[in-house]
Amino acid sequence: MIYKKLNKILDSLTALEYLVLLNISNNFDEDILNDTKYIETLESLRLKDYISLNNKLTLKGKDFLEELDKSEPLNKESGDVFEKLHSNLQQKMIKLTKQKQVYLQGKYPFLGNSRDLKLRLQKVIKKYNLTDFEKIEKVLTLYVEKCYANRFEMVSTVDYYILKGEFSKLVTDYENYDDMKSPVKKDTTINL
């Protein structure tokens, strides 16, 4: 099955272009951008409209990588875990708001796509040595509930909650998880 994915990549890009594109999408692009050996590769990716002039992924680049993720993940287990987490968060949103998506300030999606969620979580998990994925899922679910309780006012998107720059509110809440409680209150009145 990896053969099909490799063919799909090589139909559009060289192997080096794909690796550079993947590197840029994971925000590990500093060395590549500063190394003169990659000037031609970066220029080729710009000409093919996979990256912009400021070396960020274009919509075409993001779509290409998302399509590859859907086709056949190289690491099925971790791909499925992140997809499942995204799906669970989406189901929580539907349960609370009756919608798959809420837009903050009318334009910023509260819950990003599964690829961005996966990339940010992988970065945070690696950087902060988080080991309990179930706890991560619970913390994210509590965050969605908290934002719902606050009517999605004065809150960050899930992506920024996970990682914004070098700061992660998720990690803070992960470490303080035992103190957290669900902000969505259930009706516990007894009718006599």
The tens-digit pLDDT sequence of the chain (192 residues) is 566 777 777 788 888 888 888 888 877 667 777 788 888 988 999 999 988 888 888 888 888 888 877 654 444 444 478 889 999 999 999 999 999 889 998 888 999 998 899 999 999 988 888 888 899 999 999 999 999 999 899 999 999 999 998 899 999 999 998 766 555 444 444 544
Using CA atoms in the order 102, 89, 131, 116, what is the torsion angle rounded to 10 degrees? -50
3-state helix, strand and coil shares in percent for the chain, rounded to the nearest 5: 65, 5, 35
Output the pTM of the full model: 0.56
In 3D space, the residue among 31, 132, 36 whose CA is nearest the CA of residue 81 turns out to be 132
For residues 82 and 121, what is the distance between their CA atoms, to the nearest angstrom? 9
Nearest to 87 by CA among 130, 137, 122, 123: 137
What are the beta bridge partners of residue 51? 57
